[in-house]
Structure 1
Amino acid sequence: MRIRFLVPGNVRHGSGGNKYNAKLAEHLNALGATVETVTVDGDWPVGSPADRQRFAQALDGGTTVIADGLVASGAPEEVAGAVQAGTKVWILSHMALADHHDLEAKALAAATGIICPSMHSAAELQARHGSLDITVATPGAEPADISEGSHPKHIVSVAALLPNKSQTLLIEALSQIKDLPWTAALIGSEEAAPAYAAEVRAAVEHHGLQDRLSVTGELTGQALQDQWRRADLSVLISQSESFGMVVTESLAHGVPVLVRQGTGAVEALGHSGAGAVWDPKEALGGTLRTWLTDHALQESWRSNALQARRGLQRWESTARTVLDALEAPPR
């Protein structure tokens, strides 16, 4: 099967959506499909008339297209035109658009099919637009070396510095437990929202945490692996997450995770007991204090993370789910 995979050109940091798209394309190829990934530049999710024309041209010429929802959901006329011309257009909706409800509804209705990376994101889409036929293809996880941990305990938060990711809230919480031994690292791009990244750095200085909390920027390769090797706890307290691939990445290293209630990260953590779901009504500093001072809790979370590591889904399974949906006869 030949597949053209259309991805947005205006998300340049290491987002979960970008990583999902790249891994899905890689493993569809491994299963025998021929995937052509095309980056569509534009001011998405709606774009200018010229942007949408560029998108329409990218839709032309393939019998099967997977289009990232950030591009496709704001361009229903282009999706409908391609489908009417005989192209199968599947919208991969990582997360419902915050705005542009009507455009998204029309695009989803016009598409050949819809793919979501989690039950959480599928439910959000259906809550906005009613009953939809959605294929859920949850992310896989790459095999990884087991964390060695650190003394004192090392906390990591792996996410681009964005207001949604709530790094300033984590800094505030850490400032409340300075009496305990710990180190921490905020690992993620500072380019996506420079003003917020400046707020994050200012908060670190305001609370006098420069010697204990590092803001590393986006890390890859050995530098990132060194952080995972040292990690004892991973924290993902975004206000919204479609899934939170860093959760399964953490578990692949045997590192327990603290996630925020009401987000897709809860689905990623599952019922493993490899960490906890934080209720925003509770003090985050208190939750971290409990973990840092309760050695039995630390051992329990760590043991459960190592157990969860053995059962993580691989990307081949994700790609197989998508390929089966694309190859199935129309419903």
Structure 2
Amino acid sequence: MPGDVHDPTAPSGGNVYDLRVCRDLPGTGWQVHEHAVAGAWPQPTAGARAELARTLAELPDGSVVLLDGLVACAVPYLIVPEAPRLRLAVLVHLPLGDETGLAPGRSADLQALEGRTLRAVGAVVATSDWAARRLVELHGLAPGQVHVAAPGADTGPSAEGSEDGTRLLCVASVTPRKGQRRLIEALAGIGDLPWECTFVGGLDRHPGYVDRVRELIARAGLEDRLRLAGPRSGAALEASYAAADLLVLPSHAETYGMAVTEALARGIPVLATEVGGVPEAVGKAPDGSVPGMLVGPEDPEALTAALRRWLGEPATRRRLREAARGRRTALDGWDTTSRSLATALDRLRRDTGRAA
């Protein structure tokens, strides 16, 4: 796993997923040994590469090894040589080349490295049906090699919500892929309406982008209404959800969107861009109603219009809140995630073959 997986100041969906898997897999009959490798993944230092190589080399032949894709995908020269003797599975939270804001040519380079890694290992674990299809198409993988273990959700206390729905929340690291600049521009377009918005998420992954976000907030005159709260976890994150009326996730790319189900697990409706696995995360309530609004990723006017609709139409707020409460009762828990992952690992352990 990445070295910051246990760092409460660096929360991420991938870290949460990894930690829950480590905690819950023993309940499916697996014995788990954790190893976190420090380094600026997926661009590791020489020391990080050496540590990963040493860790893999010390494992007995036939060991089942689950590797976080952030650690494994960009270093096929370390992973591929170990594939013939170890039973390797790679958990892909996001295809590396799908990250937003990469330098020209970097996306293609990462995609090529990732393909070499994934084609060599025995199993690939994706976090949504969309992501599984994406990986098969992107890297020419055999469909039977790719397994889905979608993130679970812990049902929390139902958020009461304010009558006017003005408390908006965005839970995402402040990075180009998460689209905070687009949300600021949309909020600037509804300055005539009452609202307040809190951005919860790490501020240190793309400092230049964070600077541009701050400048945009100031230029739009939104300093008193929009706050960058930084990363939150545990009770502080719970309090953020408890105070929210609507989760807004304006991402350019997502394989799933754990913040979506975290909000729905508290009965909070969602406004998100219709990208990747987000529609799967939003899902439907048992009665078929959709607990949120999805807008096109390249349609900023639609995001502004959806916010205006949420704030200006009490009937819309009531309908979406009712659907969110219904979806809350139907979400899968992390036990489902662990069982899905255990099934993939059990198959890998039984399989004596290797991917081409």
Relative to the length of structure 1, the TM-score reads 0.92
Corresponding position of 1:41:
38
Retained in 1: the 8 A contact 2:272–2:293? yes
State which drifts further: 92-101 or 170-179.
92-101
3-state DSSP of counterpart to 2:53: helix
**Aligned 8 A contact 1:28 1:34 in 2:** yes
- Structure 1 match to 2:306: 287
Aligned to 1:173: 186
1:326 corresponds, among 345, 349, 355, to 345
Task: Look up the equivalent residue of 1:209 and give its one-letter code.
Answer: L
Match of 1:184 in 2: 197
The answer on whether the counterparts of 2:68 and 2:92 sit within 8 Å (CA) in structure 1 is yes
Query: Does 1:27 find its partner at 2:21?
Result: no
Pairwise CA distance, 1:225: 1.9
Q: 1:275 aligns with which of 276, 292, 296?
A: 292
Equivalent AA in structure 1 for residue 335 of structure 2: E
Render the CA deviation track for 1:251-294: whole Å, top value 9, x for unaligned.
Answer: 00100111112322122112441001112335121110011111
1:158-183 Cα offsets, whole Å, 9 max, x none, are: 01111111111111111111211121
* Residue identity matched to 2:259: V
Distance 1:47 1:166, change over 3 A: same
SS at match of 2:48: helix
After TM superposition, the structure 1 = structure 2 runs for residues 118-157 of structure 1, keeping only pairs within 5 Å, are 118-132=128-142, 133-152=145-164, 153-157=166-170
- Which residue number in structure 2 is paired with residue 9 of structure 1? 3
Distance 2:82 2:72 in 1: 11
The 5-angstrom pairing of residues 1-331 of structure 1 reads: 7-9=1-3, 13-47=10-44, 50-59=47-56, 60-61=58-59, 63-84=63-84, 86-98=85-97, 99=107, 100-132=110-142, 133-152=145-164, 153-272=166-285, 273-279=290-296, 280-281=298-299, 283=301, 284-328=303-347, 329-330=350-351
Count of residues paired in the alignment: 324
SS of corresponding position for 2:155? coil
Q: TM-score, normalised by structure 2?
A: 0.86
Q: Is the 8 A contact 1:10 1:44 kept in 2?
A: no
Q: Which amino acid aligns with 1:38?
A: H
- 1:246 deviates by 0.4
Contact 2:11 2:232 in 1 (8 A): no
Paired residues of 2:75 and 2:117 also in contact (CA < 8 A): yes
Aligned residues with identical type, % of pairs: 35
What's the CA shift string for 1:228-271, capped at 9, x where partnerless?
11211101111001100001001001001111123221221124
**Aligned-pair distance for 1:10?**
6.5
**C-alpha contact 2:284 2:327 (8 A) present in aligned 1:** no
Give the Cα–Cα distance (whole angstroms) in 2 for the partners of residues 101 and 187 of structure 1.
Answer: 30
Specify the alignment match of 2:101 in structure 1.
none
Calculate the aligned-residue CA RMSD, in Å. Answer: 1.9
Give the Cα–Cα distance (whole angstroms) in 1 for the partners of residues 331 and 44 of structure 2: 37
Distance 1:226 1:19 in 2: 18
Q: Could you tell which deviates more after superposition, 49-58 or 113-122?
A: 49-58
